[in-house]
Amino acid sequence: MRKQARSVSPPDKNPLKLKKKKKLAAGIPAVTSSMKHGIQNMGVKRSVKALAMVNQKSGFDCPGCAWPDPEHRTQFEFCENGAKAVADEAMTARVTPEFFSKHSIDQLSEKSDMWLNKQGRLTHPMILKKDSSNYTPLSWEEAFEHIASKIHSMDHPDRSVFYTSGRTSNEAAFLYQAMVRSIGTNNLPDCSNMCHESSGKGLGPTIGIGKGTVHLEDFNQADVILVIGQNPGTNHPRMLTALRDAKLKGSTIIHINPLPETGLERFKHPQDYMKLNFSTTKLADYHLAVRIGGDAALLKGFIKVHSQYGGLDQAFIDNQTEGYNSMLEKALSIDWHTIERDSGIGRDQIEKVGQVLSNSKATIACWAMGLTQQPNGVSLIQEVVNLLLMGGHVGRPGAGFCPVRGHSNVQGDRTVGIWESAPESFLQKMEQGLNITIPKEHGYDVVNAIHAMRKGKVDVFFCMGGNFLSATPDTFATAEGLRNVGLTVQVSTKLNRSHLVTGKEAIILPCLGRTELDVQRSGKQFVTVENSMGVVHRSRGGLQPASTHLRSEPWIVSNLSTHLFEDSPLNWPELTDDYDRIRDLMEQCLTGFHDYNIRVRQENGFLLPNPPRDSRTFDTPSSKAQFTTHELPNVTIPKDRYIMMTIRSHDQYNTTIYDVHDRYRGISGNRRIVLMNALDMAERGWKNRQIVSISSHFNGEVRTSSDWVLVAYDIPRQNIATYFPEANSLVPLNSTARISNTPTSKWIEVTLKSEPFEKKGAEEE
């Protein structure tokens, strides 16, 4: 019998080191860190080769994040964390069949997530047979036959679920959804359900498109840039360059965040050292240390101030919007006491910053997970829309909405069909283009997929990338769900915990990454991606693949499809012989992709249509932008409770842990830490390094996790922060944002209890 694998990483046992928080982002330490990760993982020669290709017109798109590339690129168009992402994929270590024969999955699960990732690139297709404890190799042909036979034996197409993580190229994602819809289901959950779903659901009904409306060039023309609930210094370091350039041109930057994130304090471009320019730039002019969940109140405050101090674009409000009066009436009905209490920000400061916003001729609002992963994530985004619409800050230079996407192609994946609840008009065009019949019922999103697995409703769970077990909420509940599934399949580059906590049978299909050469029958291929600002461009890897057994994601999909469908209107093998054929097909099925193969070969790719940005028009039922009216959420917490947010450290990429450092925050050695206000600690008689257990409370359910270490930090009172994914077992599966169903990873109500110091090693609860 197979022993059960552990679902939460054991801690890396290093002593916790605490230093002062850094005030300067990037600079020389960023250069040193890029080099260190590069050389350790890839060696000198490969580092130079790989990094010379990142974000170059003839190279590959950085797998780090979705921030766009400037038109005038430098020779080194990457950042510290992009370099780490490249090094992590292009590393020379390998996970081979011998590795799997040496280690059983339960043994591997006792290793930390960091250790698992460090073992290197997966090299062969592998299968974990029923009741067996070790993966064994199998051929691609055997793998496809096995998966196809499981899918054929299902009672209903909806008993299969197909997850996607946002690194998948447009071509692979498009073919993948075509395969899934040909099977007859819309069960296409993706990482976006846990990420910017609230942005899409907030923007769609108000401005008529679920995407941002700015270009990179707009940053140079903005009067004011709001950065809300986002830590670009760590997660989008190249955005700091855009902020610096904007700043040097006179923009005012307003940072709204419970934490004083270093990236927004002072910035030194790493490449300036080569030009012997040692000056640093102060970025944020204002930092409002809002309480977690306090943005709703703060935004109402700004709206009140704006209505008093003028700067309203009355003509725009009158002619191109609806709902202004009701929205304003609601904001004005909320008294200052409530706004101050809920936001944690004094009226003086709100008025001061509110005036800056009122006086602005062009405002850009950027945001990320601090807003989207709140229970009221969708209405928060819509309050941001309210605020900007008041001044007409959309569809003109230097102004607009900028949801800053995470995974490098998460936006593109959605555009090409990774969408469990795609609108009917989208599916109709897809149906015609593919010449198949597509069911119109919505499929499972991430949270509903977990519910379905737990209820025994899933026979086959297929993942195109990602780490479903560790990225999703409620780790133990998700693990139970996964163990219920007949067959789980992971198309992956690196080993992670989702390969260990599996269905009754599991298959690993190792694939090429962004950095690698992709050669098909017609020769070398490139793929395309869409960045956070709607630019579609090419990405072509150049390194020799990590193993000769690796296959590209499009190849994997087309070969599986060949085994799945006896008579399909699509000629699957032909599609992957030359990816131009995939793009030809995409042109037929998607809006905005005409002359795809020609336009994507232009130097900087092409822009997808975006009515608010291109023509200040709004694709809503009344063709007007919508102001929306929202109640304030209840954010009062009982005296003995805290609100916990789960965030990223500087040395991780989502569930991939590169190292145990969080350089900017001055923390290293341990990832099971809790950032807590020193006064809250003193009140409980606690000091730095106190060990605590955390219990989350939701609808009467309690989830507990032990062995966490307290660190005194500059964070609002009754707010605490822990790292994702270690804290995910505390995120209740049913605690999701209204409308978007995004897990509320930034709003978890918890209590803390001290534990004896000698307690070692996090236990599996």
**Residue ranges that bind ligand MGD, judged by CB under 6 A:** 64-65, 81, 165, 167, 191, 194-195, 228-231, 234-236, 256-259, 261, 290, 292-293, 295, 368-370, 373-374, 406-407, 464-468, 471, 491-494, 496, 511, 513-514, 553, 645-648, 652-656, 724, 728, 731, 745-746
Residue with smaller CB distance to ligand MGD, 468 or 627: 468
Nearer to Mo ion, 190 or 516 (CB): 190
**Distance between CA atoms of residues 82 and 65, nearest Å:** 8
Beta carbon of residue 303, minimum distance to Mo ion (angstroms, whole number): 28
Cβ neighbors of 365 (< 8 A, separation 6 or more) are: 225, 226, 228, 384, 387, 388, 393, 400, 401, 402
State which residue, 256 or 575, has the beta carbon closest to ligand MGD: 256
What is the residue type of 747? Answer: W
Q: Work out the number of other CB atoms within 10 angstroms of the CB of residue 106.
A: 15
Distance of CA 77 to the CA centre of its chain: 21
Short-list 22, 15, 82, CA closest to 47: 82
Closest approach of ligand MGD to the CB of residue 231, in Å: 4
Contact partner at residue 199 from ligand MGD, Mo ion, none, CB < 5 to 8 Å by partner kind: none
DSSP for 384-409?
A: HHHHHHHTT-SSSTT-EEEE---STT
Only segment of 145-153, 390-398, 404-412, 434-442 that touches Mo ion (CB under 5 A):
404-412
In the bound complex, what is the minimum distance in angstroms from residue 194's beta carbon to Mo ion? Answer: 7
- Which residues, 6+ apart, have CB-to-CB distance to 226 below 8 Å? 254, 256, 357, 363, 364, 365, 366, 367, 384
Q: Which of 230, 238, 159 is nearest to 199 (CA)?
A: 230
When CB distances are held under 5 to 8 angstroms depending on the partner's kind, the choice from Mo ion, ligand MGD, none that residue 715 binds is none
- Asked if 259 touches Mo ion (CB under 5 A), the answer is no
- Beta carbon of residue 567, minimum distance to ligand MGD (angstroms, whole number): 29
Q: Which does 545 bind (CB under 5 to 8 A by kind): Mo ion, ligand MGD, none?
A: none
Complex with ligand MGD: residue 440 or 717, whichever CB lies closer: 717
From the list Mo ion, ligand MGD, none, which binds 415 (C-beta under 5 to 8 Å, kind-based)? none
Cα–Cα distances (Å) from 464 to 60, 197, 414, 512, 748, in that order, read 20, 19, 14, 12, 29
Contact 532, 68 (CB under 8 A): yes
Nearer to Mo ion, 193 or 677 (CB): 193
Question: Concatenated DSSP letters for 227-281?
Answer: EES--HHHH-HHHHHHHHHHHHTT-EEEEE-SS--GGGTEEE-GGGGGGT----E
Least CB distance to ligand MGD at residue 516 (A): 9
Shortest Cβ 192–Mo ion spacing (Å):
7
Q: What is the dihedral of CA 593, 598, 602, 607, to 10 degrees?
A: -10
Q: Residue 244 binds which one of Mo ion, ligand MGD, none, with CB within 5 to 8 A depending on kind?
A: none
667 binds Mo ion (CB under 5 A): no
Nearest residue to Mo ion, scored by beta-carbon proximity: 406
Nearer to Mo ion, 195 or 512 (CB): 195
Q: How far is the CB of 573 from Mo ion (least distance, A)?
A: 34
Residue 422 touches which member of Mo ion, ligand MGD, none, C-beta under 5-8 Å by kind: none
Told to check if 195 binds Mo ion by CB under 5 A, we report: yes
Which residues are 753's β-sheet partners? 693
Residue 406 binds to Mo ion (criterion: CB under 5 A): yes
CB nearer ligand MGD, residue 264 or residue 305: 264
Q: How far is the CB of 407 from Mo ion (least distance, A)?
A: 6
Residue 226 — φ and ψ, nearest 5°? -95, 135
Rounded to a whole number of angstroms, the minimum distance from the CB of residue 191 to ligand MGD is 4
For 318, residues 6+ apart whose C-beta sits below 8 A from its C-beta are none
Q: Are 352 and 361 in contact (CB under 8 A)?
A: no
358 binds, among Mo ion, ligand MGD, none (CB under 5 to 8 A by kind): none
Strand partners, 652: 657
Q: Which of 135, 23, 247, 170 is nearest to 535 (CA)?
A: 170
What residue type is 459 in one-letter code?
D
**What is the β-pairing status of strands 224-228 and 363-367?**
parallel
473 binds Mo ion (CB under 5 A): no
Q: Would you give the distance in Å from CA 396 to the centre of its chain?
A: 28
C-alpha 632/C-alpha 629 separation (Å) is 10
Residue with tokens 């060990």: 691
| Residue nearest ligand MGD, Cβ-based | 406
Least Å from the CB of residue 740 to Mo ion = 13
Pick one of ligand MGD, Mo ion, none as the site partner of residue 494 (Cβ within 5 to 8 A by kind): ligand MGD
- Token couple for 243: 């902020």
The partner in contact with residue 181, picked from Mo ion, ligand MGD, none with C-beta cut-offs of 5 to 8 angstroms by kind, is none
Regarding 527 and contact with Mo ion (CB under 5 A), the answer is: no
The distance between the two most distant Cα atoms of the chain, rounded to a whole number of Å, is 72
Give the total of residues touching Mo ion (CB under 5 A). Answer: 2
Distance of closest approach, residue 155 Cβ to ligand MGD, in angstroms:
28
How far apart are CB 125 and Mo ion at their closest, in Å?
A: 28
Query: What, of ligand MGD, Mo ion, none, does residue 491 touch, CB below 5 to 8 Å by kind?
Result: ligand MGD
Of 330 and 514, nearer to Mo ion (C-beta) is: 514
Does position 38 interact with Mo ion (CB under 5 A)? The reply is: no
Write down the least CB distance from residue 211 to ligand MGD, Å: 15
Residue whose C-alpha is closest to residue 710's, from 730, 696, 724, 690: 690
159 with 460: CB under 8 angstroms? Answer: yes
Does 731 sit near Mo ion (CB under 5 A)?
no
What is the C-alpha to C-alpha distance for residues 234 and 29, in angstroms, rounded to an integer?
A: 13
* Nearer to ligand MGD among residue 65 and residue 737 (C-beta): 65
d(CA 71, CA 505): 48
Among the listed ranges 195-203, 323-331, 356-364, 622-630, the one in contact with Mo ion (CB under 5 A) is: 195-203
Among Mo ion, ligand MGD, none, what does residue 492 contact (CB within 5–8 Å per kind)? ligand MGD
724 binds, among Mo ion, ligand MGD, none (CB under 5 to 8 A by kind): ligand MGD
**Closer Cβ to ligand MGD, 64 or 323, answer by number:** 64
- Written as one string, the DSSP assignment of 681-724 is HHHTT--TT-EEEEEEEETTEEEEEEEEEEEE-S--TTEEEEET
Partner whose binding site includes residue 211, from ligand MGD, Mo ion, none (CB under 5 to 8 Å by kind) = none
Q: Is the Cβ of residue 231 or residue 628 nearer to ligand MGD in the bound state? A: 231
Question: Smallest distance, Å, CB 200 to Mo ion?
Answer: 13
Binding site for Mo ion (CB under 5 A): 195, 406
